[in-house]
Amino acid sequence: MKKRVTLLKEFTKGLWEINPTFKQILGMCPTLAVTVSAINGIAMALATTFVLFFSSLLISLIRKWIPNQVRIASYIVIIATFVTIVDLVMKAQFVELSKALGPFIPLIVVNCIILGRAEAFASKNNPLRSMLDALGNGAGFLISLFVLGSIREIIGSRTILGYQVMPNGFEPWLIMILPAGAFLTLGLLMGLANLYTERKKNLEREALIAQYKRVGREEITDEVLKEAGV
Amino acid sequence: METTTTIEPKQKVYFDLTTSPHLHSKWTTSKVMWFVVAALVPSIAAALTFFGWTQIFIIITAVVFAVGTEVSIQVIRKKQITWFDGSAALTGLLLALTLPPNFSLSATAIGSVVAIGLGKQIFGGLGYNIFNPALVGRAFLQAAFPVQITTWLKPNFAVDSVTSATPLAAFKFDKIFTDTVPMAIGNVGGSLGETSAIAVLIGGILLIAVGIVNWRIPLSMILGMFLFGGMFWLINPQNPTPIFHIFAGSFLFGAMFMATDWVTSPITNKGMWVFGLGISLVLVVIRIYGGLPEGVMYSILFMNGFVPLINRYTRPTIFGAVKEEKKK
């Protein structure tokens, strides 16, 4: 049986539980490539969120008419439409950012977060839920890109969002604005995220076992624990 | 009535899981590590002689931060604390000896933390790391502070006003060849421990003699240098001779102390030959065609990545096994 998910949950799950970067591990290419600075990360995430939101909405609206055999092609066409809009708007209004992000804006077309949410969520759920899901995932993507970009910008060029935060005596680590720095930072952050999840799960598990012992239930089998979702 | 007795263990049985090999040997980890440290004494002495005694601070900083990182990570991860086995101290020492003289102490500390933290402990500690930790630390510093790490100091006894560039940099950018004799003694620009070929050889031969270092790796690297370096030299005499290749830069230091790291080198004899020859080939290509003058670090790290593959393909036949017939 399908569990009832509240509308709020559809939004908030994207922030952490299924965070695109740290939990679904999707969209790694822009994540690693553009997070040289915090502002680039924000811009990339906002552009992705825009495309994600509208393509999820549209795909969800027409999900019953898309033949199963050509669904991926249909999604790509829809996504590409919105990516073109973003690309042209950025080229017209934010020239600097557009140059900094380079080919990664057009590449949103094949960003697996968008295709992933379309395939896994929007094609099976109603438009309202799809919109919330898209916003949640976009926000989660924004958070992770901002964190990653900030760390790399602070250590790699002493600034955050263009404001200097580290003293002049601090020698910037050039590696942090090179691709190697992206891999190192992302790997360490992901390790921390996994550690946190694991600790939390263990605590929940122990709490459940303690609860079972209190009410005097003898058998605490793996099946029982699995059913409780811990 | 049937009675069954169940034997209940009074105590939990703990299995002590450690990494292979499980063969007993008179060489314990700590003995080996401290012996290698002892073998590095000539190199340290040479470094202090040629670049001034203040260089000792780089070495001290590197060792202290390496050990400190090891202990703090083990405390955080609630693992057994093993700083006294000397492996962390050795990593710090090796890292310090690959750094240029007068390198900033704060950057040295960063290198040590990265070497132990990202190069070793993140994989699970001693015996689990894929890449040589000291070289990981140095590669990090090379990428983080490219200017600082290629700023060389003129050695103390420089007879003429030869620039402070390393012999390899002099060759790469100005096509100047340095004589072999100063390179062998160590009176040239370069990283702390690498310049004096004689000091490195004393330590290396000592390690080979007591059986800590397997002679196949250094020998195959040197032979590989004659083979590949000689090949390029024969094709174009503008390229450095194999002798220059061997004495310049950190080739010998890498061959004796870096490539022979037990954890990150192949375990089979045949594999060691492949490993050593591979390092030489990659190194010659980097030195002749690469953008950087020196490539010992990258070539060793590169071949470290192939070690599991080399081990797999050079696995010796099981005793008594018959060679499989070729399938038709």
**C-alpha angle B315-B320-B325 in degrees, rounded to nearest 5:** 75
Place of tokens 């499989």: B324
Q: How confident is the model at residue B1 (pLDDT cuts 50, 70, 90)?
A: very low
DSSP type of residue B154: P
Q: Domains in chain B and their CATH numbers? A: 29-312 (1.10.3430)
Predicted confidence at residue A223, as pLDDT, reads: 67
Terminal-residue alpha carbon distance, chain A: 18
* Interface membership of B118 toward A (CB under 8 Å): yes
Does residue B113 surpass a pLDDT of 60? yes
What ranges do the domains of chain A cover? 7-177, 199-228
Rounded CA-CA distance A149/B152 in Å is 34
Sequence-distant (≥ 6) Cβ neighbours of residue B285 within 8 angstroms: B295
Amino acid at the residue A3:
K
Q: Which residues of B touch A171 (CB under 8 A)?
A: 104, 106-107, 145, 148
Q: Which residues of B touch A181 (CB under 8 A)?
A: 143
Predicted confidence at residue A217, as pLDDT, reads: 63
For residues B91 and B36, the answer to whether their CB atoms sit within 8 Å is: no
Selected residue of A152, A154, A173 to mutate for chain B interface (largest B Cβ count, 10 A) = A173
**A-side interface with B, Cβ within 8 Å?**
171, 173-176, 178, 180-181, 184, 191
Nearest C-alpha of chain A: how many angstroms from B11?
23
- Which of residues A31 and B325 earns the better pLDDT score? A31
Q: What are the tens digits of pLDDT across the range B204-253?
A: 999 999 988 899 999 999 999 999 999 999 998 888 888 888 888 889 99
| Burial of B240 per CB tally in 10 Å (0-12, 13-18, 19+) | buried
Average pLDDT rounded to a whole number, residues B174-181: 77
Going by C-alpha positions, the residue among B163, B174, B123, B114 that lies closest to residue B142 is B114
Predicted confidence at residue B327, as pLDDT, reads: 55
Show the tokens assigned to B302.
Answer: 């590169």
Rounded CA-CA distance A221/B227 in Å is 64
Predicted confidence at residue B13, as pLDDT, reads: 62
Q: List the single residue in A176, A178, A184 with the smallest CB-CB distance to B118.
A: A184
The percentage of residues in chain B with a pLDDT greater than 90, rounded to a whole number, is 47
Nearest C-alpha of chain B: how many angstroms from A185?
11
The sign of the CA dihedral B107, B144, B137, B99 is negative
CB atoms A176 and B144 under 8 Å = yes
Predicted confidence at residue B161, as pLDDT, reads: 43
Show the tokens assigned to B183.
Answer: 């390179």
- Whether the ω angle into residue B167 lies within 30 degrees of 0, i.e. cis, is no
Predicted confidence at residue B192, as pLDDT, reads: 87
Q: What are the tens digits of pLDDT across the range B301-324?
A: 999 999 999 999 988 877 777 766
CB atoms A171 and B104 under 8 Å = yes
Nearest C-alpha of chain B: how many angstroms from A166?
15
Show the tokens assigned to B125.
Answer: 């500690």
Terminal-residue alpha carbon distance, chain B: 65
Does residue B155 surpass a pLDDT of 50? yes
What average pLDDT values come out for chain A (230 residues) when binned by 10 residues?
A: 73 88 88 90 93 94 92 93 94 90 89 91 91 94 94 90 84 89 93 91 84 70 65
Does residue B22 surpass a pLDDT of 70? no
Stated as kind and residue range, the H or E segment containing A113 is: helix A112-117
Going by C-alpha positions, the residue among A79, A83, A115 that lies closest to residue A98 is A83
Average pLDDT rounded to a whole number, residues B1-22: 59
Q: Which residues of B touch A184 (CB under 8 A)?
A: 118
Rounded CA-CA distance A6/B139 in Å is 50
* Interface membership of B140 toward A (CB under 8 Å): yes
Q: How confident is the model at residue B164 (pLDDT cuts 50, 70, 90)?
A: low
Measured between CA atoms, the residue of chain A closest to residue B111 is A173
CB atoms A178 and B143 under 8 Å = yes
Q: What are the tens digits of pLDDT across the range B274-305?
A: 999 999 999 999 988 888 888 899 999 999 99
Does residue B19 surpass a pLDDT of 80? no
Task: Write down the mean pLDDT value for chain B.
Answer: 85
Show the tokens assigned to A101.
Answer: 């992000």
Q: Which residues of A touch B110 (CB under 8 A)?
A: 173
Sequence-distant (≥ 6) Cβ neighbours of residue B90 within 8 angstroms: B33, B36, B37
- In DSSP terms, which residues pair with B213 in a beta bridge? none
Predicted confidence at residue A87, as pLDDT, reads: 93
* Interface membership of B210 toward A (CB under 8 Å): no
Size of interface A-B (CB pairs under 8 A): 21
Instruction: DSSP for A144-171, please give it.
Output: HHHHHHHHHHHHHHSEETTEE-S-TTSP
Q: How confident is the model at residue B86 (pLDDT cuts 50, 70, 90)?
A: confident
Q: Which residues of B touch A191 (CB under 8 A)?
A: 122
Average pLDDT rounded to a whole number, residues B193-211: 90
Predicted confidence at residue B9, as pLDDT, reads: 53
Does residue B110 surpass a pLDDT of 50? yes
